[in-house]
Each structure stands twice: as C-alpha cells, then as structure tokens.
Amino acid sequence: MQFWLIQTLNSVAFGGLLFLLSSGFSLIFGLMRIPNLAHGAVFMLGAYFGATFIELGINFWIAALLSGLGVGVLGLLLERLILRRLAGNEQGQVLVTLGISFIVADVCLMVWTGDPIPLPAPAALRAPIFVAGFAFPTYRLAVLAVALVIAAGLYLLIERTRLGAMIRAGVDDMEMARGVGIPISKLYMLVFLLGTALAGIGGTLGGPILNADPGLDSQMLPLALVVVILGGIGSLVGALVGSLIVGFLYNFGTALVPDLAYFVLFFPMVLVLVLMPQGLFGRVPQ
C-alpha cells in the first residue's frame, strides 16, 4: 500500500515537472511552429544553473527563478539572433535547435564535468510529512504544488488576459492576427522567453529528484515529445494531461519494469497516433 501511494505521488510530481518542460515546448510549437529540440538541453542547463546558484548560497526558490531567467534570456537570444533569420524555414529551424542542443550539452559537460551534481532540496522540505501513518516526501508535494500554481497561472494568462487572447489568435491564424494589428514579433519573443524560462525553472526544481547530469537532456527531450504528441500541439490542457499520463507511465515503468521504462511509453503513443493523430487536445490540424 505504501509503495503504491508513494509511487502515485512520485508519478504526479514527475508529471508536474514534465508539465513545466512540455508546456513551454508546446506553447512555442503552437505559436511559432518551431519544435525547439534544444528544450531538453535548456532543461538541463536550468538544473546546472540552479546547482551553481545554490552552491553560491542563494535560496533554493530564488535560485530556481534566477536560472529560469538566465535560461530564458538565452532562449530569447536564440530566437532573436538565429531562429528569426530562418523564419518560414521549418526544416532549418529544427536543425538549428538540434545543433544548439549539442553545443549546450557539450558546454555543460565542459563546465560542470560529467559527474552528476545533486541539488539539495530546501531544508524545510527535506523531512517527510506523515499523513494517516504514511510518509510522504514533502519536496515532491511542493514541486507538484508549484507546477499546479504555474499551470493555473498559465491557464489564466492564456485564456483570461488580452495577451493570452493575442497568443491564441496567433496560434490559430498568424496572418490574420498580424493583419488586425497584433504585434506577432513581440509575442514570439515573449513566448520563447516564457517557454524556455519554464523549462529552466523545471530544471532546477527537478534537480533534487533527477540530479543534474550530462544525460539529462536526452532523457527529458523524448518525454517532452511524447507528452506533446499525446496531448496535442499548442494545447495547455493537452500538455497537462499528457504530462500526467507520461509521468505515471514513466514512473511506474521505472519502478516495476526498469528495463522497459521507455517501451511503456510506446503504446499510448501508438494508440493516440492511430486513433487521433492530432493528439488528445490538439487544436491545430496537421
């Protein structure tokens, strides 16, 4: 019983992390039609930034925000300096983000070496909470709470604000949106900043669970892809539901059949692709 409860909680918390990773990916893809293959590397960079900030004695949560900001600024530069020059060239954008991810991963390896760097959870959250006789890891509950708050914030931002309405308009029909005077170019910058910053924050928050190590990018990127394939491109709800599904499958897969953890992801993906290729909540027709 304890096992199942704990694993369920772990799955949901991991799903929360995946949401931080994939919501940014999905937003960027939805608005800009760029599958940012550097997103896994950005997540890893966030974890390393976080580790460094914490080592400097900065408070954990502030470190997470700072690394989100740092990574977001790098994302902004990437968009402005490189991706902007390739507007309309989807294939080129895919390849460039892939190239960037290799460079980022290699630089991380150079700066932080190949040894995994464990990130300490905030001191206040290290002791487990006891509920009805079961011990729950407090930190994971906190991660889940943060992810939910961010999800709610994003939802309000996208669905309830003027800015969100502009983004939605851009996702649905970019030309018309531009035609009616929506500053698409600024939106691109903003969404890229936001999307990469979310991944950066996710990287730091994931640090105490996953460690910052050189394989983190190639571990997380396929998960983000599967989340987006499952949930549908450009849909926030899709990213949330997809993250939870993948979180459960991956976590239970790792716990029960560690050899086949990735394989477990294969079947839901096949099922969704066969039955509804646009994803569970996909709005953009492929």
Q: Which two tokens stand for residue 253?
A: 């897969």
User: What is the smallest separation between the CB atom of 106 and another protein, expressed in angstroms?
Assistant: 4
Please, which residue, 128 or 222, has the CB nearer to another protein? 222
Three-class SS state of 3: helix
Please, which residue, 64 or 265, has the CB nearer to another protein? 265
User: What is the smallest separation between the CB atom of 130 and another protein, expressed in angstroms?
Assistant: 34
Crossing angle of helices 184-210/60-77, nearest 10°?
140
Please, which residue, 111 or 156, has the CB nearer to another protein? 111
Three-class SS state of 130: strand
User: What is the smallest separation between the CB atom of 267 and another protein, expressed in angstroms?
Assistant: 10
User: What is the smallest separation between the CB atom of 66 and another protein, expressed in angstroms?
Assistant: 25
Rounded Cα–Cα distance for residues 98 and 134 (Å): 44
Please, which residue, 96 or 158, has the CB nearer to another protein? 96
Q: In the chain, what's the furthest Cα-to-Cα distance?
A: 60
Binding site for another protein (CB under 8 A): 29, 33, 35, 37, 82, 85-92, 94-96, 98-103, 105-107, 109-110, 178, 218, 221-222, 225-226, 228-229, 233, 258-263, 265-266, 269-270, 273-274, 277, 286
Its sign, for the CA torsion 275, 280, 283, 284, is negative
Please, which residue, 70 or 217, has the CB nearer to another protein? 217
User: What is the smallest separation between the CB atom of 168 and another protein, expressed in angstroms?
Assistant: 19
Which bin fits 173, alpha (ψ -120 to 50), beta or left (φ > 0)? beta
Which one-letter DSSP state was computed for residue 259? G
At residue 87, what is the residue type?
A
